[in-house]
Structures are given as structure tokens and as C-alpha cells.
């Protein structure tokens, strides 16, 4: 039974990601300001995936991550390289799924209610432009399905928007 529920939830997430990807193709434009496209993208994620409590970008500037467009409660403004889940992804260049934030010693708790997290790097010309961070108040909310689709979506953003524009 539990297995069936999990399969159905993963399928539901997959359907949502497919719809998000289709919507992005229509409303992201390379000739519009980067901050506008990213802000709309974040809003689309927040209001499509009900399990998310917080979603946003941290933008890399000279090895530090700075808070970018986000939806959710106010959050830490600066994360140093190697600190927190975000700073670890900045160093490792790979997505991290945290099933239970209490078991990730480096986790930075911007919101005490956050229970699990996924952080995905966004690459521009081989360099990490920043990271996309999603939090949930549900334990173990993120799976390989989230990882696969979020990585594809980040690649799509990198190909579609004009990242030459500096946001910070
Ligand atoms: N938990 C993150 C910090 C950012 S907040 O979740 C918005 C981390 O450990 O890097």
C-alpha cells in the first residue's frame, strides 16, 4: 500500500514537472531581464509543487552565495563557499538531496520548520552561476525524480535566458 502511494506521488510530481517545462517554453524570453524570468520561474515552482516551503536561487559571486529571487519566508542573505547544503553544492558541483536536515551537519537552518531539501547547481559555460534551493516541511520530500527534472530545467534556463546580465 505504502509503495503504491509513493509511486502515485512520484507520478504526480512527474506530471507537474512536465507541465512546468511546457509552461517555461512559453513564458521565458532571452530578450527580457534575467531577474524577471528567474522570478517568474521561482513562482511557478512554488505554486506548482505543494510540498515546497521555500524555493529560490543563491547566486555565486567570487565564491560566496548571495540570496536571489525566491518565494517563502525571509532567508539567509549570504552563504560562504563550503557552508550549508548550498555552499557544499557550490564546491562539489553536484546536486545534493537531504532526506533529513538534522542528519546533514553542515545544514543552515533559515527556517526551523524545514525538514528536507534539494540543492541543484546551475552552470553557465561550465561555471556555477548559482544554485537552486528547494526546502520542504515534509521529511524525505525529494527524490531522484525531482533531481532529474530540476537538473533538466536548470539546463533549459541556462540555454534560454541571458545570463550575461549581472544580478549582484
Ligand atoms: N538550508 C540551506 C540554507 C538556505 S535556506 O534553506 C533558504 C543550506 O543549508 O545551505
Residue owning the nearest CA to atom 5 of ligand 1: 110
The pLDDT value given to residue 11: 77
Q: What's the average pLDDT block by block, 10 residues per block, for the chain (168 residues)? A: 70 93 94 97 97 98 97 97 97 98 93 96 97 98 97 97 93
The pLDDT value given to residue 6: 74
Q: How far is CA 29 from CA 23, 35, 50, 109, 125, in A?
A: 12, 11, 26, 34, 19
| Grid cell of 86 as nine digits | 548550498
How many angstroms is it from 36 CA to the middle of ligand 1?
23
How many angstroms is it from 64 CA to the middle of ligand 1?
13
How many angstroms is it from 34 CA to the middle of ligand 1?
23
Q: With beta carbons less than 8 A apart as the criterion, state whether 135 and 53 touch.
A: yes
The pLDDT value given to residue 3: 67
Does ligand 1 have an atom closer than 6 angstroms to the CB of 117? yes
Query: Residue 167: which of 83, 45, 42, 25 has the closest Cα?
Result: 42
The pLDDT value given to residue 125: 95
Q: What is the pTM of this model?
A: 0.95
The pLDDT value given to residue 75: 97
Does ligand 1 have an atom closer than 6 angstroms to the CB of 58? no
Residue owning the nearest CA to atom 6 of ligand 1: 110
Domains, the chain, ranges and CATH? 2-160 (3.30.450.40)
The pLDDT value given to residue 5: 74
Amino acid at each position: 500500500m505504502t509503495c503504491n502511494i509513493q509511486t502515485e506521488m512520484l507520478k504526480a510530481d512527474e506530471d507537474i514537472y512536465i507541465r512546468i517545462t511546457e509552461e517555461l517554453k512559453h513564458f521565458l524570453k532571452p530578450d527580457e531581464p534575467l531577474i524577471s524570468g528567474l522570478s517568474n520561474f521561482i513562482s511557478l515552482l512554488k505554486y506548482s509543487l505543494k510540498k515546497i516551503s521555500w524555493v529560490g536561487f543563491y547566486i555565486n559571486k567570487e565564491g560566496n552565495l548571495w540570496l536571489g529571487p525566491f518565494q517563502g519566508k525571509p532567508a539567509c542573505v549570504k552563504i560562504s563557499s563550503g557552508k550549508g547544503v548550498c555552499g557544499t553544492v557550490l564546491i562539489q558541483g553536484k546536486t545534493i538531496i537531504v532526506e533529513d536536515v538534522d542528519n546533514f551537519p553542515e545544514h543552515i537552518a533559515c527556517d526551523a520548520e524545514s525538514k528536507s531539501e534539494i540543492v541543484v547547481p546551475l552552470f553557465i559555460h561550465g561555471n556555477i552561476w548559482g544554485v537552486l534551493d528547494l526546502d520542504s516541511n515534509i521529511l524525505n520530500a525529494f527524490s531522484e525524480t525531482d533531481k532529474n527534472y530540476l537538473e533538466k530545467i536548470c539546463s533549459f534556463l541556462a540555454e534560454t535566458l541571458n545570463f550575461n546580465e549581472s544580478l549582484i
